[in-house]
Amino acid sequence: MEPPIPTATYEGSLSPGSNSTSWAENKATLLLPAYHDTKDTVAVSLLGDVVNFNDPPVLDSGTQVPQDLYKMEIGVSYFHQLEDKKIWGLRTSIGYDGDKPFQAAGDLTYSLSANYGFPGSGRGYWLLYVFFSNNSPLGDYIPIPGFSYVYKSETFVGSFGLPILALQWKPYPLWYYSLMVLGPIIQTELGYGNLDNAQVFVGFYWTRLQYILSDRVNPTDRLTLEEKKVCIGLRAPVYRTFTAEIQAGQAFDRYFYIGDHLFDTNGGEALIKPDWYASVSLKVRL
């Protein structure tokens, strides 16, 4: 198994609030391999994310959405190569998703996952895994099992299972289609070009961000930010290992709600009007 490529990424997006609340996000990630030999790989990841609202909405329950929301995480992954192309691995993380960073131990987020992989017939490969977290769009405080069957060919890579579905298909050398479904999160793109020169694409993204508020009444309540986006974008290399991406489009179906499980709005909800947005992403291989 090859070690992960050390990578630093910055993503910034802005929805100016011409019709409603202004919404800005700045996110940075860092992935670093810490150890690698013929059988074992250890990697460390860091994440920092800040979402800002200049006029945060009030839920119909009377709860004020905080002006700033933060995500911070450190994660460690371990993979071990077995005989006959079998592998197993572990990943754990600890961090903070909320409005007042690191003021209370009960506001910390944590996760643990384990996986095991083995070859299937022909080009196929099976992955079995279990995931546990106290703050996940898939479910909190319960172990979530899953499986995937991975198939690769010259023009197609697909991972079919639950709760993950992912594929990338290149019917022609310069055309591609990709789809990723992770429980309630969906991303799909249709594009033309290649990353050696330039790649133009149209996309649809359905995302959810989940936070643990410091003043929540129910300890298991989570504030969820949900939105859908359609966009057109461009990816291109800038210099050697440095790649940039820009996109612009419409954000719609933007909801804030509080509840103790997915789609639960017992703690109140608010709808943000549709608005255009623009974003930039910068990635460098270290």
* Domains of the chain, first to last: 7-285 (2.40.160)
pLDDT at 41 over 80: yes
Across the range 60-77, mean pLDDT stands at 95
Is residue 44's pLDDT more than 90?
Answer: yes
* Joined tokens for residue 207: 């995302």
The residue-averaged pLDDT of 57-77 equals 95
Asked if residue 173 has a cis previous peptide bond (ω within 30° of 0), the answer is no
Q: How does pLDDT run across 180-222, given as a tens digit for each residue?
A: 999 889 999 999 998 889 999 999 999 999 999 998 888 899 9
pLDDT band at 251 (very low <50, low <70, confident <90, very high): very high
pLDDT at position 263 is 80
How confident is the model over 105-143, as pLDDT tens digits?
888 999 999 999 999 988 899 999 999 999 988 888 999
Residue 184 φ/ψ region, left for φ over 0, alpha for ψ in the -120 to 50 degree band, beta for the rest: alpha
Rounded percentage of the chain residues whose pLDDT exceeds 70: 99
- What average pLDDT does range 41-66 have in this prediction? 94
Residue percentage of the chain with pLDDT more than 90:
80
User: What integer is the mean pLDDT of 46-52?
Assistant: 97
Q: For CA atoms 270, 273, 274, 280, give the dihedral sign.
A: negative
Q: How high is the mean pLDDT of the chain?
A: 93
User: Which 8-state DSSP code applies to residue 64?
Assistant: B
Statement: residue 1 has pLDDT above 70: no
Encode pLDDT of 138-165 as tens digits: 888 999 999 999 999 999 999 999 999 9
